[in-house]
A and B are shown apart, each in its own frame.
Chain A
Amino acid sequence: KAGVTQTPRYLIKTRGQQVTLSCSPISGHRSVSWYQQTPGQGLQFLFEYFSETQRNKGNFPGRFSGRQFSNSRSEMNVSTLELGDSALYLCASSGGDRAYTEAFFGQGTRLTVV
């Protein structure tokens, strides 16, 4: 059974550009969550999607957005990139209809904004 797949693994963007990251969950999992990890702030929750609906959202500006497709794959988009958006972005999938079930993480996308 394949794990959670995130693409791309590494990305370098220029300030002001936008970026789209992709996450394919474990087959059969319907919940996908996104997290941002920085040295200063640690791991912070961005948002969660379940069956194509955003079910939960963290405290990030509107430049951060996401969506989920009917096959449960999810994308997150960051517009008008800032230097502070440089981070490791992690995606997690879980199989239950609530967040009580075990979450499995992908390898992450490391974004560098220059």
Chain B
Amino acid sequence: GIQVEQSPPDLILQEGANSTLRCNFSDSVNNLQWFHQNPWGQLINLFYIPSGTKQNGRLSATTVATERYSLLYISSSQTTDSGVYFCAPVMMNRDDKIIFGKGTRLHILP
């Protein structure tokens, strides 16, 4: 079955809008990261957040490990926020491998 599920798969927003991206995972986690993949393919670290809440500028993330989900919030979107956002947990009993979700493709319109 699906181990990491991200929603929505695609999101189109106007510049200035806020958004919430969700990641559900099927097992307890040792580690969870959020990445932004830029147009050139590089994965940029956003958050390392196995539990709790963190904020970095316009971005914040919350992981509720007991309920097996994580949320990424983007406020006041800018066109440079466009790209694909990946949730990547390392789940217990999965041989310490990072398992990526399929990503949320975000397109911010000017």
Taking the closest CB of chain B, its distance from the CB of A58, in whole angstroms, is 7
CB contact between A107 and one of B30, B41, B45, B90 (< 8 Å): that residue: B41
Interface range on chain B (Cβ under 8 Å from partner):
20 to 34
Q: Tell me which residues across on chain B come within 8 A of A55, comparing CB atoms.
A: 96
Q: Tell me which residues across on chain A come within 8 A of B31, comparing CB atoms.
A: 99-102
CB contact between A103 and one of B30, B41, B98, B103 (< 8 Å): that residue: B98
Does any Cβ of B come within 8 Å of A1's Cβ?
no
Taking the closest CB of chain A, its distance from the CB of B12, in whole angstroms, is 19
CB contact between B100 and one of A43, A100, A101 (< 8 Å): that residue: A43
A56–B97 touching, CB < 8 Å: yes
- Please give the residue numbers on chain B whose beta carbons come within 8 Å of chain A beta carbons, in ascending order: 30-31, 33, 35, 40-43, 45, 48, 50, 86, 88, 90, 95-100, 102-103
Interface range on chain A (Cβ under 8 Å from partner):
20 to 34
Docked pose: A101 CA to B88 CA in angstroms:
12
Sample of 6 A–B contacts (CB below 8 Å): A98-B30, A100-B96, A102-B33, A104-B45, A105-B42, A107-B40
